[in-house]
């Protein structure tokens, strides 16, 4: 099956998004992965890198109507392990029996402590997106096995434009984990942001645990006259 073109993928996102420069950045990522997995010696795939997530999922976060976004959660870049990344920040598609990514496991620990709900066992966070939560990575693609490899390739301007757009919604809060995400706070307004260290095992014990991000984001929504998000998975 042939890889969809950048234009075909852009035509699938919600028409309410305004993301200048998206075609160029997306086309560059698709071109880098073009031919990966083809037989050695056939030419077109020589030197190609496997790019994650799968092409049809790269813009998945933008399938949501931007005017319906109530809470933004910002990630860094997709999981670099093949098969994990699904185009929604922190969400993962895992084979049966495979352990959760460590950051997601820590998110679930805080979820249970904050909300008093049982920690989920599935990596699928997509139910949140149906309730007004935008799970947006700062960078939307990555080379397999090479975390951070597509930083500085243009995605930051695209996702910044997306953040500016949803931050204009009247009832809105953002959960910003880690320094990269917190660079977006001036676009949103610190009073509408819940900020803490990243849930990565390297930083979770420096203030992520105990930060109550889910209930605090709902408190911001309610204070602005909005309805809280149902976080239950």
Question: DSSP of 26-92, one letter per residue?
Answer: HHHHHHHHTTTTSPTTSSTTTTPPPEES-GGGTTGGGGS-GGG--EEEEESS--SSTTTB-SSTT-B
- Residue 230 in domain: no
CATH of the domain at 219: 3.40.470.10
- Residue 79 in domain: yes
**Alpha-carbon radius of gyration of the chain:** 18
Measure the CA–CA gap between 7 and 11, rounded to whole angstroms.
6
Measure the CA–CA gap between 47 and 6, rounded to whole angstroms.
21
Cβ-based neighbours of 83, under 8 Å, separated by 6 or more: 93, 94, 95
- Residue 185 in domain: yes
- Residue 107 in domain: yes
CB 207 within 8 A of CB 109: no
Domain range holding 146? 52-223
The residue among 20, 156, 132, 143 whose CA lies nearest residue 78 is 143
Question: Which secondary-structure segment (H or E) carries 166?
Answer: helix 155-167
Dihedral of CA 52/112/102/209: which sign?
positive
For the annotated catalytic residues, the residue numbers are: 77
pTM: 0.93
> 95-130 burial by CB neighbour count: b if 16+ within 10 A, else e?
eeeeebbebbebbbebbeebeeeeebeebebbebbe
Report residues of the chain scoring pLDDT below 50: 38-46
Q: Provide the pLDDT for residue 83.
A: 85
- Residue 165 in domain: yes
- Residue 219 in domain: yes
Question: Dihedral (C-alpha) 9, 10, 15, 18: value to the nearest 10 degrees?
Answer: 150
Cα dist from 25 to 12, 60, 122, 126, whole Å? 16, 15, 31, 25
- Residue 74 in domain: yes
Q: Provide the pLDDT for residue 137.
A: 95
- Residue 36 in domain: no
Measure the CA–CA gap between 17 and 13, rounded to whole angstroms.
8
Question: How many domains does one find in the chain?
Answer: 1
Q: Provide the pLDDT for residue 44.
A: 41
* DSSP 8-state symbol, 3: P
């Amino acid at each position: 099956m042939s890889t969809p073109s950048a234009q075909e993928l852009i035509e699938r996102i919600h028409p309410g998004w305004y993301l200048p420069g998206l075609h160029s950045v997306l086309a560059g990522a698709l071109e880098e992965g073009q031919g990966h997995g083809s037989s050695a010696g056939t030419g077109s795939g020589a030197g190609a890198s496997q790019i994650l997530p799968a092409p049809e999922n790269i813009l998945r976060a933008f399938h949501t109507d931007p005017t319906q976004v109530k809470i933004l959660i910002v990630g860094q870049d997709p999981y670099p392990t093949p098969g994990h990344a699904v185009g929604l920040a922190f969400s993962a598609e895992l084979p049966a029996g495979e352990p959760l990514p460590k950051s997601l496991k820590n998110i679930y620990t805080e979820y249970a402590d904050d909300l008093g709900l049982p920690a989920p066992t599935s990596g699928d966070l997509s139910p949140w997106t149906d309730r007004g939560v935008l799970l947006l990575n700062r960078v939307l693609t990555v080379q397999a096995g090479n975390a951070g490899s597509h930083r500085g390739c243009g995605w930051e301007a695209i996702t910044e434009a997306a953040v500016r757009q949803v931050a204009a919604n009247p009832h809105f809060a953002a959960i910003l984990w880690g320094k990269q995400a917190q660079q977006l706070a001036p676009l949103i307004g610190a009073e509408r942001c819940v900020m803490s260290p990243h849930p990565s095992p390297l930083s979770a014990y420096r203030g992520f645990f105990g930060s109550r991000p889910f209930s605090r984001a709902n408190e911001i929504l309610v204070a602005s006259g909005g309805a809280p998000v149902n976080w239950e998975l």
